[in-house]
Structure 1
Amino acid sequence: MPPVTTLDETTILAGKYDDTDARLDYTGDWVSELFVSGAFKETLYISPEIGDSMTFTFFGKQLILGYKSDTGFGTLTIKIDNSEYSLNQLTGSEWVSVQLSQGVHSVTVLHKDGDFVSIDYINIIE
């Protein structure tokens, strides 16, 4: 996905957003779980299928991705503009990107391997 250079109504600005935000575009067999103890706003998106993805654009300089970890959870590939990062969800609860240049960035989150992966929230730092 080429870098985005302009803001529009789908661009996410600084702040913390739930996994149910309409600007997060899920593709595949994601399941929206409700009343999840410990999850931000008690919601959680879970992917049971390798290849499921979620995309969005944001304006800022850093991305924090919140998730739930568990045994059987696998790996996400997180692509920001033209750089790829790997997130193993067996442990932890937050992934923090490298510092980016202030601006508009394109993000794709892909279920790479494992039985499940999850997305709880995103936090955009300006």
Structure 2
Amino acid sequence: MNDFAEYMELIVEPTFEDFRRNGGSVRHAYLACLAIYHAVDRAAYPHEPSMLAEQWRTASMAFMLVEEVAQHFKHGQRRWVKKAKARNPDALLITHPLGLEGSLKGLETHPLYFQARDAVLFLREKVKLAAQAPSPQ
């Protein structure tokens, strides 16, 4: 499944809806963030998604926060967090207000829901733009 619109329809939308129905579930929150973040892979296909991900992070704070949750759950702690703490040990990292420090049970799912919702709205706009773009010959 390489089609961005199809990925949104079959994976992102229903996974986000599962999170909406199970708002206190850390598992549903993580799966929604993971599905939302990986939409960039489908949108960039067949190209490497890193440049597009950087553009989306810049354009949408919600997408950036959702990515942070997806990556944090996957890796435990992002490499850049260690570098940031080394530069400024007193810095408040986004992982703190999201509740990603310590046990994963501390994840603040209520505010994360709204970030995930906004990231889905952002992706819906990207799907519309992709549908309007002329297809390559």
TM-score, with length taken from structure 2: 0.29
Greater per-residue strand proportion: 1
The structure, 1 or 2, with the larger RCO (C-alpha pairs under 8 Å, 6+ apart) is: 1
* TM-score, normalised with respect to structure 1: 0.31
Which structure: greater helix fraction?
A: 2
Structure of higher CA gyration radius: 2
